[in-house]
Amino acid sequence: MSPSAVLVVSAVLFALGVLGVLTRRSAITILMSIEIMLNAANLAFIAFSRQFDHADGQVYAFFVMTLAAAEAAVGLAIVIALFRLRESTDVDELHLMRW
């Protein structure tokens, strides 16, 4: 298990998350793909923290986790509000502001 192996796994997970954001239609699955991306970034932070034997990377990962929690909560509240308005979470239907 070399650092590059862990970082390649992180890159693959990040790419899968990006693919999810671009491809899926339901707002909640897009939020879930964003969580995959954040996790991939956390994995890279922790890999580098281990490489340089410093706790800073883990503290950054800690902050990213906290922010992901806050973002998930607010994002889901927005999805609930949207669902009440439009009866569906399909992001293709949210084109009121498109000109």
Partner 1 sequence: MELVAFVILTALAVVSAGVVLLHRSPVVAALSLAANLIAVAGFYLLLNAQFLALLQVIVYAGAIMVLVLFVIMLLNLPEEARRHDRPSAQSVLGMALAVVFVAVLGWALARASSGQEFPPSSPTFGSVGSVGTALFTTFFYPFEAVSLLLVVAMIGAVLLAKRRI
Query: Contacts with partner 1: how many residues (CB under 8 A)?
Result: 66
CA–CA dist 91, 15 (Å, integer): 21
Q: Tell me if 41 contacts partner 1 by CB under 8 A.
A: no
Q: In the block, which residue shows the tokens 């949207």? A: 82
For residue 30, which amino acid is it? I
Q: In the block, which residue shows the tokens 């992001």? A: 91
Smallest gap from Cβ 95 to partner 1, in A, equals 14
Q: Tell me if 5 contacts partner 1 by CB under 8 A.
A: yes
Q: Tell me if 85 contacts partner 1 by CB under 8 A.
A: no
Structure tokens at 89: 């979470």
Smallest gap from Cβ 82 to partner 1, in A, equals 10
18's CB contacts (< 8 A; 6+ apart) are 33, 37
Structure tokens at 23: 């491809």
Contacting positions for partner 1 (CB under 8 A): 1-9, 11-20, 22-26, 28-29, 31-33, 35-36, 39, 42-43, 46-47, 49-51, 53, 55-56, 58-59, 61-63, 65-74, 76-81, 83-84, 89
